[in-house]
Amino acid sequence: PRTRSRTGGAGDRGPRCTEPPVSTVRGVRARDARCRAAVALGWDVEPRGKGAEAAWGSDSGAAMIEVVAELSRGPVFLAGETLECVVTVTNPLPPTATSASSEALAWASAQIHCQFHASESRVALPPPDSSQPDVQPESQTVFLPHRGERGQCILSTPPKILFCDLRLDPGESKSYSYSEVLPIEGPPSFRGQSVKYVYKLTIGCQRVNSPITLLRVPLRVLVLTGLQDVRFPQEEAVAPSSPFLEEDECGKKDSWLAELAGERLMAATSCRSLHLYNISDGRGKVGTFGIFKSVYRLGEDVVGTLNLGEGTVACLQFSVSLQTEERVQPEYQRRRGAGGAPSVSHVTHARHQESCLHTTRTSFSLPIPLSSTPGFFTAVVSLKWRLHFEFVTSREPGLVLLPPMEQPEPVTWTGPEQVPVDTFSWDLPIKVLPTSPTLASYAAPGPSTSTITI
């Protein structure tokens, strides 16, 4: 294609790519590869010559194109897996419409990005670099997928062109497959009180002489620590049974990564060994807490037992909460004197409370929600899991609130109106790892299809 650049003059927006001859490749009308590269660089694409408006379709107010993005396997992925999305572009007008109702898109591109947002009252971030503006004017056609989003883009994949110069007749639709490997070095999806990490697949489409329209598909990314150092085997130990069958490298790598992640999760969470902890309040022993493991996966139950029969201090009531602790790293903590909020926040995901006077032995089970975030740490924040216990004990040693078993005559017995008590708490750290993305998608479903009308 012929290209030309203009220098000087009001309203100049840089190099433009004139309309090249249109060729057909595998049934899809596409521009020359050099024009595709021009679109990727953010140049404006304009028709050239007489009849160009008819060739590109009409931009009347009633004209519209429907774009649908559908994730092939749900919205939950493991970092390092390949995301696959089918993008379908449709002219919703009935096939009986006239040929003048044909619609056209200049180009479409897709990109995955992670947005980071921090609470100003909790996190003290360095000032952003003013030499790199985050927002582009609406009149420009540079594909900026995080335009208009809160926070800053900390991670993104290279943009990929889906198509150029697409024209659809009434009732016609075409589908395009987009695939990209999710960066393995990024943080997990997380919405906390101090920071937020949000992943999205953004698809940008543009009509001729019109601003870019963005379609954002929310994603949830789980991160399993340790997979960054593992390399995909290049040579298979066993040759394929038929040399004429083509094998999908992305599919093989995804299958291998999912199998490796499953093996590591199983090895870390299947070990069971009884751990006993003596609980005391400074005046004596309250009881013994037992738990069989300290590493869990999302969706599992935390099961524990409490033995109060051996205690010398009477326990009237106890509660245990499954909590996450979100802590801002010291170098990013905002000082309390400057109006900053606390740098540590806790969220309770499950809770068990029980009155246990004269109880010898009891147990509890707390489910770990599939929608929660496993433990992780970044340069700004860390997330840890714990069991938070609260005990209410009697100050009176040898407290007996039961009547004698044998009474010489009928009596009426009532409990005391007041009992002097003490309270204390105890925290037991545990480790929570991610689970299978397929299981997380089924148990905590999210939108897999997003639609926009241009």
Find out whether 317 and 353 touch, Cβ atoms under 8 Å: yes
Helix (H, G, I), strand (E, B) or coil at 330: helix
pLDDT at 310: 86
For residue 173, tell me if it sits in a domain: yes
**What tokens were used for 346?**
């806790």
Whether 214 and 65 share a structural domain: yes
Does some domain include residue 243? no
Per-residue model confidence (pLDDT) at position 412:
80
Residue 413: inside a domain, yes or no? no
Taking a C-beta distance cutoff of 8 angstroms, is the pair 363, 305 a contact? yes
Asked if residues 257 and 81 have their Cβ atoms less than 8 Å apart, the reply is yes
**Is 188 part of any domain?**
yes
Report which of 201, 172, 259 is spatially closest to residue 72, judged by C-alpha positions.
201
What is the reported pLDDT for 159? 92
Same domain, 175 and 279: no
Instruction: With respect to residue 16, please indicate whether it lies within any of the assigned structural domains.
Output: no
The pLDDT tens digits along the chain (454 residues) read: 333 433 344 444 443 443 333 333 333 333 444 444 444 444 444 444 333 333 344 444 457 899 999 998 889 999 988 999 999 999 988 887 766 678 889 999 999 999 999 998 889 887 765 555 555 444 444 566 666 677 889 999 999 999 999 999 888 999 999 999 999 889 999 999 999 999 999 999 998 888 889 999 999 999 987 655 444 444 444 444 444 444 455 555 556 667 777 788 888 888 888 999 999 988 899 999 999 999 999 999 999 999 998 888 989 999 999 999 999 999 998 876 555 567 899 999 999 999 998 899 999 999 999 999 999 999 999 999 999 999 999 887 766 666 666 777 787 877 778 888 999 999 999 999 999 888 888 776 667 889 998 8
Confidence at residue 7, expressed as pLDDT on a 0 to 100 scale:
38
In whole angstroms, give the CA distance from residue 106 to residue 167: 9
Q: Are residues 304 and 446 in the same domain?
A: no
Which pLDDT belongs to residue 139? 40
DSSP codes, 31-87: --HHHHHHHHTT-EE---STTHHHHH----TT---EEEEEETT-SEEETTSEEEEEE
Q: How many structural domains compose the chain?
A: 2
CB neighbour class for 155 (10 Å; exposed up to 12, middle 13-18, buried from 19): middle
Does 45 reside within a domain? no
Is 202 in the same domain as 330? no
Tell me the one-letter amino acid at 379. Answer: A
Which two three-digit tokens encode residue 371? 């929608």
Of 382, 426, 354, residue with least CA distance to 225: 382
Long-range CB pairs of 283-291 (<8 Å, 24+ gap) are 283/313, 283/393, 283/397, 283/422, 284/311, 284/312, 284/313, 284/397, 285/310, 285/311, 285/312, 285/313, 286/311, 286/313, 286/315, 286/391, 286/393, 287/311, 287/315, 289/389, 289/428, 291/428
Do 374 and 322 share a structural domain? yes
Residues 185 and 331 in one domain: no
Is the distance from CB of 42 to CB of 414 less than 8 angstroms? Answer: no
Residue 308 lies in a domain: yes
Q: Give the span between the Cα atoms of 420 and 166, in whole angstroms.
A: 79
pLDDT of residue 58: 42
In this structure, what token pair is assigned to residue 432?
A: 């929570």
Same domain, 61 and 198: yes
Please tell me the predicted confidence (pLDDT) of residue 217: 93
Residue numbers of the domain that contains 90: 55-125+136-224+440-453
Q: Are residues 214 and 69 in the same domain?
A: yes
The per-residue pLDDT for 230 is 46
- Assess whether 211 and 291 both reside in one domain: no
Q: Are residues 101 and 216 in the same domain?
A: yes
Ramachandran angles phi, psi of 143, nearest 5°: -80, 105
* CATH number assigned to the domain comprising residue 96: 2.60.40.640
pLDDT of res. 343? 83
pLDDT attached to residue 62: 54
**What are the start-end ranges of the E strands in 94-138?**
103-118
Q: Is 214 inside a domain boundary?
A: yes
Specify whether 206 is located in the same domain as 292.
no
393 and 447 within one domain: no
Reported residue count of the chain is: 454
Q: How is residue 342 written in tokens?
A: 């606390």
